[in-house]
Amino acid sequence: MCSTEYIIEDGWVFNRDGKPLECKVCKCWEFYEYRGYERHPITLEGKKKLPVKGYQCKNCRKTVVQRFDFIGKSKQYAKDVQRVTLSGSIDDMNSTRHVSYRTCRDYDCHPSAATVRYWTNQFGDMAEVIFRTEVVPYMPGLCKKGTIHLDEIYTKRRGKTPSFTVAMTHIGYLCLGGHFSDTATADDVAAVLDKLDWMLLDPARFITDGSDIYPALLRERYPHAEHISCFFHKLRTISRWEKKLEKTKNRFERMKILRGIITRCKDLLHQIWDTPNGRATNNRIERFFKPIRRLFHQIVSFFSVDCANNFLDLVLFHWNFHKFERGQYKGKSPVEVLGFDTKGQDWLYFLGIPEDFD
Ligand SMILES: [Zn+2]
């Protein structure tokens, strides 16, 4: 469970039992205790009866009621329900309706799909703010002159191509931000770049898939940064041209294609030998977002693009704190790779992460 020593709310500091430590107004530490009212929070074990004590300052007569760390002020659902539900939707990439159904099946509580959506909005918002204010400024290793991958991930639904655009650091695979919309345009890239600006990052290099929504914008906003196309995407283009060459019979056509292949191969070799990170690919980004794509495919469960964006913020936050199971960063999370200390960060618990955190 949560390991907070104190509960801080509305400027008051309460101990573990929910008793105020000193008066907010006059700093007196003596209180009269009286019987307050009854609350009915919903936890994973169902609805509970909870008597609430009231306290009155002996000096200035200011009153305050008891607080509990497992449930927010004037909230009906306990934090463990929110935690289990949101973690469920992130881990399994399921619709809000299904998550609501499953919480109801496995536990003695049943938040509706609308409630789950409400939590998604609330916690997604919180995740983004926390990431910007509590995490990024405390990551010494978040290189100001680093390499950033930009990629857009498409999904198809009823003839439309909803997509999300994301930014990820080259070192540590830290997700810096994402944006969801009905189809990826330069506006989405601008929204993601706004997030980088907010974090005061000054990237030295961008790696994209070579899509034409990037070059103009990157040149305009980061005139000093290099812009490299993903090594793998370039290679794939070459192999496509080779296939075309096999099918073509006309000699002049063949010459034209061959010349194209040679130019591209030269270009690729220059990139490999002359540019740092020239061999970098966007493959990891694509692999990571494949399961999320399935979820955004059924975007109808969000009702709005805003809610989808909030959910994306939650997913990215979750990713940034999850621990790698293998590879060069095994046992570490992306934020830890970049120097952020997760110990003593109790607020992490309320966003449902990470499981092995105490
Ligand atoms: Zn007082």
Give the tens place of pLDDT for each residue, 29-64. Answer: 899 998 888 899 998 888 889 899 999 999 999 999
Looking at residue 216, which CATH number applies to its domain?
3.30.420.10
How much distance in Å is there from the Cα of 49 to the middle of ligand 1? Answer: 30
Give the tens place of pLDDT for each residue, 74-133. Answer: 788 888 888 888 887 777 666 777 788 888 888 888 888 888 888 888 888 888 888 888
> Do 205 and 286 lie in a common domain?
yes
**All residues at 6 or more sequence positions from 274 whose CB lies less than 8 Å from its CB, including other chains:** none
How much distance in Å is there from the Cα of 64 to the middle of ligand 1? Answer: 10
Q: How many residues does the chain have?
A: 358
> Do 161 and 307 lie in a common domain?
yes
Confirm whether 82 is domain-assigned: no
How much distance in Å is there from the Cα of 40 to the middle of ligand 1? Answer: 29
> Do 56 and 157 lie in a common domain?
no
> Do 46 and 180 lie in a common domain?
no
How much distance in Å is there from the Cα of 69 to the middle of ligand 1? Answer: 23
How much distance in Å is there from the Cα of 63 to the middle of ligand 1? Answer: 8
Confirm whether 218 is domain-assigned: yes
Confirm whether 2 is domain-assigned: no
**C-alpha span between 277 and 81 (Å, rounded):** 44
How much distance in Å is there from the Cα of 59 to the middle of ligand 1? Answer: 5
How much distance in Å is there from the Cα of 37 to the middle of ligand 1? Answer: 22
Confirm whether 20 is domain-assigned: yes
Give the tens place of pLDDT for each residue, 145-168. Answer: 888 999 888 877 667 778 889 999
Q: What do you get for the CA distance between the two ends of the chain, in Å?
A: 7
How much distance in Å is there from the Cα of 78 to the middle of ligand 1? Answer: 30
> Do 148 and 297 lie in a common domain?
yes
> Do 143 and 61 lie in a common domain?
no
> Do 145 and 284 lie in a common domain?
yes
Structure tokens at 128: 């983004």
How much distance in Å is there from the Cα of 6 to the middle of ligand 1? Answer: 19
Confirm whether 132 is domain-assigned: no
Lowest mean pLDDT among 13-27, 59-73, 243-257, 287-301: 287-301
Is 190 a residue whose pLDDT tops 90? yes
CA distances from 126 to 3, 26, 27, 171, 318 (A): 20, 32, 31, 25, 12
Containing domain of residue 316, as a range? 137-230+280-350
Question: Scanning the structure block, which residue is given the tokens 């497992």?
Answer: 70
How much distance in Å is there from the Cα of 53 to the middle of ligand 1? Answer: 17
Total domains in the chain come to 2
Confirm whether 194 is domain-assigned: yes
How much distance in Å is there from the Cα of 62 to the middle of ligand 1? Answer: 6
How much distance in Å is there from the Cα of 70 to the middle of ligand 1? Answer: 26
Kindly report the pTM of this predicted structure.
Answer: 0.79
How much distance in Å is there from the Cα of 29 to the middle of ligand 1? Answer: 8
